[in-house]
Amino acid sequence: MLEEEALLVRSHPQARPRMADEVRLVHWWVSGGEAAALDVLKQNLAKEDLVFNDTPIAGGDKLKADLKAMIIGGDIPTAAVMSGYDTWNWAQQGVLADLSTLAAAEDWNSAVPAALQKFCKYNGKWIGVPVALHSINWLWINTAAAEKIGLDAPPASMDALFVALEQAKAAGLVPLAIGGQPWLMATLFDSVVVATNGLDFYKRAFVDLDDAALKSSDMIRAFQNLSRLSSYADPGYSRLNWNDATDMVITGGALLEISGDWAKAEYRSAKKKADVDYLCVRFPGTEDDVLFNADIIAMFDVEPDRQSAQTKLAKSIMDRAFQASFNDAKGAAPVRMDVPDATFDAFGKKALADVRAANSNGTLIGAMSHGYIQPTGIQQAYFDVVARVFRSEIRPEAAAETLAEAIAAVK
Ligand code: BGC
């Protein structure tokens, strides 16, 4: 947003008057599983006597564009879901609230992992609340499809993964389910980089933006693995959304997918059971690492008479019981480390245990693909090069150099 636009926001009259007990949430949760999770939130707000004004917008880019138009028009929602550096982009415009008093009273500082807190705060002030701590380095396998190809355990290495994909192809299955948008290819590539070269390399390349690491033969090997994986995608993959791809695995048309744990919400909605109908393990070679992507509910600087409803919203999202029930439905780990896992299923228990372990040993690290390592410009450059490799528009051997140059041009 431009500086003048930000000024316009501050001087523009409110477009539509809002009721004091209304909570207007702009979000991107539109799939079946996501809607089920959102229901948990809606029920929680009803208990607080809040009126939920639902504003779903499919797709992160569309949400950003629509949100910008709303804000410029003076139509300020109570809150909007966002991730990574986007929270800072909005905070820089001076349009977000300051929840620091509430945060101190509720001790969010000790409950939320520091790696995630970083994006819930701007200049030391809480500007939103995290709602779901997703991680992306998961491999999802349909058990019936695995049996069909004689796969009795999830692949434990990249080599074993390629063997399984080849067998699925020979059996007439779609080996690898994936959707056609660059963010999905980048989500996959994050895991591939760690699996190919380890977490230290991932940090050198993406956190430090070390030129030698970006251009290295290790990075080329990661791109080669990505390119090889892309050859196992369904020929029609470019038309698919993430949840269509997940559905292909749920229904057994595809053997596997590599996806963030939002996929679990779809399995849950389809009444599929972990370890029975599907297997879910860490992507081979990333077992000790948690590459996270969290949903943050950023709070806007609303008029005084709307603040009490906003405070109730923030408090209820951070409530331990809500964190447990919402994230059981959403597929994520709770954002607070002090939520008991008693009510979680086996997958939820593992997700939380992994996050807790990674949080204490320094391996809880943001996903490059989800804006948790680098600002938007670099994230976009990453999407662009990764997608071009996946679509065979550039050779993996040229991609490392191209990525380094693309990053250098925007950093
Ligand atoms: C979001 C999740 C969402 C998923 C699929 C991720 O980027 O963090 O909340 O469920 O995309 O839409």
Give the CATH number for residue 392: 3.40.190.10
Backbone phi, then psi, for 141, in 5-degree steps?
Answer: -130, 135
What is the structure's pLDDT at 3? 40
What is the structure's pLDDT at 187? 98
Task: Give the other-Cβ count within 10 Å of 132's Cβ.
Answer: 27
State yes or no: pLDDT of 349 exceeds 60: yes
Tokens representing 261 are 């744990």
Q: How far, in Å, is the centroid of ligand 1 from the Cα of 20? A: 29
Q: Could you tell me if 265 and 346 lie in one domain? A: no
* pLDDT band for position 17 (cuts 50, 70, 90): low
Beta carbon of 183 within 6 Å of any ligand 1 atom? no
| pLDDT (mean) for 223-234 | 98
Which H/E stretch holds residue 177?
Answer: strand 174-177
Q: Could you tell me if 93 and 239 lie in one domain? A: no
Question: Which atom, in ligand 1's list, is nearest to the CA of 294?
Answer: 8
Identify any residues that bridge with 274 across adjacent strands, giving them in sequence order.
278
Q: Could you tell me if 30 and 71 lie in one domain? A: yes
State yes or no: pLDDT of 9 exceeds 70: no
Q: Could you tell me if 281 and 150 lie in one domain? A: yes
Q: Could you tell me if 231 and 370 lie in one domain? A: yes
Q: Could you tell me if 121 and 45 lie in one domain? A: yes
| pLDDT (mean) for 317-342 | 97
Q: Could you tell me if 352 and 370 lie in one domain? A: no
What is the structure's pLDDT at 4? 39
Positive or negative, the CA dihedral 305, 306, 309, 315 is: negative
Distance CA 216, CA 182 (A): 23
* pLDDT band for position 228 (cuts 50, 70, 90): very high
* pLDDT band for position 291 (cuts 50, 70, 90): very high
Distance CA 286, CA 166 (A): 22
What is the structure's pLDDT at 15? 55
Q: What tens digit of pLDDT does each residue of 363-397 get?
A: 999 999 999 999 999 999 999 999 999 999 999 99
Distance CA 143, CA 151 (A): 9
Q: How far, in Å, is the centroid of ligand 1 from the Cα of 262? A: 6
State yes or no: pLDDT of 12 exceeds 50: no
Instruction: Collapse the DSSP code of 293 into the 3-class scheme (helix H, G, I; strand E, B; otherwise coil) and give the result.
Output: strand
Residue nearest to atom 4 of ligand 1 (CA): 262
Distance CA 140, CA 176 (A): 10
Q: Tell me the residue type at 336.
A: R
Mean pLDDT of the chain: 95
Tokens representing 293 are 């992507």
Axis crossing angle, helix 182-197 with helix 376-390, rounded to the nearest 10: 90
Beta carbon of 262 within 6 Å of any ligand 1 atom? yes
Domain count, the chain: 2
β-strands 128-135, 290-299: how paired? antiparallel
Q: How far, in Å, is the centroid of ligand 1 from the Cα of 293? A: 8
Q: Could you tell me if 96 and 144 lie in one domain? A: no
Q: Could you tell me if 278 and 320 lie in one domain? A: no
Q: Note the helical H segments in 344-393.
A: 346-361, 376-390
Task: Give the other-Cβ count within 10 Å of 271's Cβ.
Answer: 8
* pLDDT band for position 19 (cuts 50, 70, 90): confident
State yes or no: pLDDT of 6 exceeds 50: no
State yes or no: pLDDT of 230 exceeds 50: yes
177 Cβ contact list (under 8 Å, min separation 6): 233, 234, 237, 240, 245, 246, 248, 249, 253, 254, 256, 257
Q: What one-character-per-residue DSSP string does 92-139 give? A: HTT-B---HHHHHHHTHHHHS-HHHHHHHEETTEE-EEEEEEEE--EE
What is the structure's pLDDT at 166? 98
Distance CA 378, CA 398 (A): 18
Residue 237 belongs to domain spanning: 138-290+365-410
Question: Which atom, in ligand 1's list, is nearest to the CA of 28?
Answer: 12
Q: Could you tell me if 151 and 104 lie in one domain? A: no
Backbone phi, then psi, for 41, in 5-degree steps?
Answer: -65, -45
State yes or no: pLDDT of 231 exceeds 50: yes
Q: Could you tell me if 393 and 286 lie in one domain? A: yes
Q: Could you tell me if 75 and 187 lie in one domain? A: no
Q: What tens digit of pLDDT does each residue of 29-54 get?
A: 999 999 999 999 999 999 999 999 99
What is the structure's pLDDT at 13? 45
What is the structure's pLDDT at 20? 86
Q: What tens digit of pLDDT does each residue of 135-192 get?
A: 999 999 999 999 999 999 999 999 999 999 999 999 999 999 999 999 999 999 999 9
From 47, 84, 66, select the one nearest 369 (Cα to Cα).
84
Q: What tens digit of pLDDT does each residue of 102-140 get?
A: 999 999 999 999 999 999 999 999 999 999 999 999 999
Beta carbon of 293 within 6 Å of any ligand 1 atom? yes
Dihedral angle computed from the Cα positions of residues 350, 36, 176 and 288, in that order, rounded to the nearest 10 degrees: -20
Query: Exposed, middle or buried, 157 (CB in 10 Å: 0-12/13-18/19+)?
Result: exposed
| pLDDT (mean) for 268-275 | 96
Query: Is this model's pTM higher than 0.75 or not?
Result: yes
